[in-house]
Amino acid sequence: MKQLAYSSTAAFLAHYRVLSNAAAEHGSSYPLSPQEREILEATRQLMETLTPEERTILLADAAGDETCVSGEEQRRCERAQLKLRRLLLTKGVIRG
């Protein structure tokens, strides 16, 4: 598998969601290819370094859900986004 490369954390999260949703659909007419399964596993491993709460916040935010509405919830979203961005920068998945 080639190195993961995304233009932003939003692009990373969007791709992760698409692959996760496709993998969850049993009997899909478009099953994941072996390369897509490898990418999904690599992105899952990166996401597993976050807490379950952080993953939930980021995935809800990426889906456009209105999870981050109060000031406290907005700060949680921003902290989770920053943590993911730092992780992806460190791993070379996105470029600064």
* pLDDT classification of 84: cutoffs 50, 70, 90: very high
Q: Residue 45's closest CA among 19, 78, 8? A: 19
DSSP state of 2: P
Q: Which domain holds residue 38?
A: 9-90
Residue 15 lies in a domain: yes
pLDDT at 63: 63
Got the DSSP string for 22-67?
Answer: HHHSTT-SSPPPHHHHHHHHHHHHHHTTS-HHHHHHHHHHHTT-S-
Q: Which amino acid is at 66?
A: E
Please report how many Cα atoms fall inside a 13 Å half-sphere around the Cα of residue 10, on the Cβ side: 5
Residues 6+ apart with CB under 8 A from 19: 32, 36, 39, 40, 43
Q: Within a domain: residue 51?
A: yes
Question: Is 82 a domain residue?
Answer: yes
In a domain, 48, yes or no: yes
Residue 33 within any structural domain of the chain: yes
Over residues 35-60, the mean pLDDT reads 94
21-35 mean pLDDT = 82
